[in-house]
């Protein structure tokens, strides 16, 4: 019985370590967003926004999101 408790404890400890490592790695994938300087109108197409952000502002991408009342182009990159 003692052996099975030790095995169970070891498996539980290993699963906690794996879970903690996986969660920590997920935090590194945070996305930073910045309002586009070049896209000045209301944003209707995330595709157009992404093109402006990538080609002219050197970001990884872009998407339309509500910034207050209006939809604005927000450029994105990994933090």
**Contact predicate 39/73, CB 8 Å:** yes
Report the alpha-carbon distance of residue 73 to residue 36 in Å, rounded.
6
The pLDDT tens digits for 15-56 are 666 666 554 555 557 999 999 999 988 999 999 999 999 999
Question: What pLDDT was estimated at residue 77?
Answer: 94
Residue partners of 7: CB distance under 8 A and separation at least 6? none
- Where would I find the H helices in the chain? 2-27, 46-56
Task: Give the count of beta carbons closer than 10 Å to the beta carbon of residue 47.
Answer: 10
Report the alpha-carbon distance of residue 65 to residue 36 in Å, rounded.
12
pTM, full prediction = 0.62
Domain 2-78 is of which CATH architecture? 2-Layer Sandwich (3.30)
> What is the residue extent of each domain of the chain?
2-78
Question: What pLDDT was estimated at residue 40?
Answer: 82
Q: What is the mean pLDDT of residues 48-70?
A: 93
């Amino acid at each position: 019985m003692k052996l099975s408790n030790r095995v169970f404890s070891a498996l539980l400890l290993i699963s906690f370590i794996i879970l903690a490592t996986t969660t920590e790695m997920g935090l590194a994938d945070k996305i930073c967003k910045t309002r586009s300087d070049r896209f000045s109108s209301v944003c209707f197409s995330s595709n157009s926004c992404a093109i402006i952000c990538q080609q002219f502002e050197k970001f990884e991408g872009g998407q339309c999101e509500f910034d207050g009342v209006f939809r604005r182009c927000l450029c994105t990159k990994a933090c």
